[in-house]
Structure 1
Amino acid sequence: MPPSDVPQDIYDPAYVKGVFDRCSGKYIAFSYVCSMGFTERWRRQCVAMLDLPDGPVSGYDLMAGTGEAWPHLLERFPQVDSIVAVDISSGMHKRAVERLHAMRAEKIEFIEDDVLESRLPADSADFVLSTFGIKTFDRSQHARLAALTARVLKPGGQFAYIEASDPKGWILRPLYLLHLKFVLPLVERLFLQGARDFSMIGTYSTNFGDARGFAEDLAAQGLEVEFRRFFFGCASGVCGRKPAGD
């Protein structure tokens, strides 16, 4: 559970922005070490859910964070001509810009914005990608994100989302929840001296459950959707496409 002084609406965009602004400086190292490297593995698997056509393609990385998905995307699909990355956190924005290598900078544009309020043009993307961002939305916000996904994709365009999840039914689930709810906050208190922001990542993940509900939201928008589980359900994802006839 979140700390007692956490406001009731932890999904308010201003609150989410504050959490990730404050922890942005150490987010990369913390997420990698405390996930035992699984975050990088799941990012690769998220990218692998796409099957992009040959020839120049462009798209969006939503809730892009510090841009850890970009190397995997550009390595697997060198035909990607441009990526527009959207994130609400100015701290994450700064870290992402710092991480842009010269060989990638010309391909990536960063927009600092609340993705649900963004004015991304309709039928403008060959793909939509997002890694570890949808847990910071509640169910009504998931429906809005699904509508945005359907709107911005070109006919035939593809999407892939992945998120840390609650592995219900897994025999080792109690140990996983212990890691999220007690180990992560302990690491933060002992080594990061943070404002209990990293512990909120565990709260968001357990509240999220898995991506089944989001898959239903995407299907309700007329998208072709497949739900997938990774590592016994510790992560879940959705992928699919906008029908070419739309």
Structure 2
Amino acid sequence: MSEDIYDAQFVKGVFDRCSGKYIWFSLVCSFGFTERWRQQCVGMLPDTIAAGATGYDLMAGTGEVWPHLLKRFPDIDAIIAVDISSGMHQRAMQRLHAHRAHRIAFIEDDVLKSDLREASADFVISTFGLKTFNPEQHRRLAKLIARCLKPGGVFSMVEASDPKGWWLRSLYLFHLKVVLPTIERIFLRGAQDFAMIGTYSTNFGDASAFAGMLREEGLEVEYRRLFFGCATAVAGRKPKHA
């Protein structure tokens, strides 16, 4: 492929085209694990989000993490969803979260170029957006998270990962590289965009390198493998300064 699959406009095109079927495809083809991993991602947030808190959902997609986040922290004042895909956000508001619209703001932008204010967030969360960045972009994202968090602010992020060392890894990769593209070709008219999501996932590896980048920015970080490493997560906080 001659195109740069990590170029912001390329990523936008993939997810704009995926948006109509994304929720169904993600849930069915992960056997429901994506929903479980979103719940676990929220559960990994340090229990320090106070009433009136405001934070960012980066690479927010269809906003499927919002119900879990608002259930655990019902007194959150606002979630600011940042995503380059207008199609994904429209899908979120139309199908899932219209009754929460007064608590959700949306910034349609490349998150790495967005003008998010310094020390503006009590929390940052992201589910399944890390894979769409290359290592250099991950480093810029780590700097952005550290800059945006308030002292004492918390974060949690999860991504589908390559379960290296798992005895069923070959079956997992067969599912990702063969089964999912076949489902797309038969049932989704072969647009190839969901197959691209599989490519992003296999290229990503796991979140261990990103955890190191967050630590280099001075954040306290916990790294965790979920379901034998089929997903990996990072969570922690920005230390309070005396």
Q: TM-score, normalised by structure 2?
A: 0.97
Identify the residue that residue 106 of structure 2 maps to in structure 1: 110
Letter in 2 for 1:52: T
- Secondary structure at the aligned position of 2:214 is classed as helix
The separation in 2 between residues aligned to 1:33 and 1:22, in whole angstroms, is 18
Q: 2:198 aligned with 1:170, yes or no?
A: no
Q: 2:203 aligned with 1:216, yes or no?
A: no
Identify the residue that residue 15 of structure 2 maps to in structure 1: 20
Letter in 1 for 2:38: R
Identify the residue that residue 30 of structure 1 maps to in structure 2: 25
1:67-78 matches, cutoff 5 A? 67-78=63-74
Letter in 1 for 2:82: V
**Residue deviations 1:37-85, cap 9 Å, x none?**
0000000000001123332211000000011000010011101110000
Identify the residue that residue 42 of structure 1 maps to in structure 2: 37
Q: 2:133 aligned with 1:137, yes or no?
A: yes
Cα distance, 1:102 vs structure 2:
4.8
Percent of aligned positions with the same letter in both sequences?
A: 69
**Residue deviations 1:82-138, cap 9 Å, x none?**
000000012112112213545411110011100000001000100000000000000
Aligned length: 241
Identify the residue that residue 59 of structure 2 maps to in structure 1: 63
Cα distance, 1:8 vs structure 2:
4.2
Ranges in structure 2 where 5+ consecutive residues have no aligned partner: none
Cα distance, 1:194 vs structure 2:
3.5
Letter in 2 for 1:30: F
- Secondary structure at the aligned position of 1:229 is classed as strand
Identify the residue that residue 188 of structure 1 maps to in structure 2: 184
The separation in 2 between residues aligned to 1:102 and 1:173, in whole angstroms, is 39
The separation in 2 between residues aligned to 1:32 and 1:226, in whole angstroms, is 26
Q: Which moved more, 1:204-213 or 1:101-110?
A: 101-110
Check whether the contact 1:23–1:194 (CA below 8 A) recurs between aligned residues: no
**Residue deviations 1:184-222, cap 9 Å, x none?**
000000001142000011111110000001001101101
Check whether the contact 2:60–2:81 (CA below 8 A) recurs between aligned residues: yes
Cα distance, 1:166 vs structure 2:
0.1
CA RMSD of aligned residues (A): 1.1
Ranges in structure 1 where 5+ consecutive residues have no aligned partner: 1-5
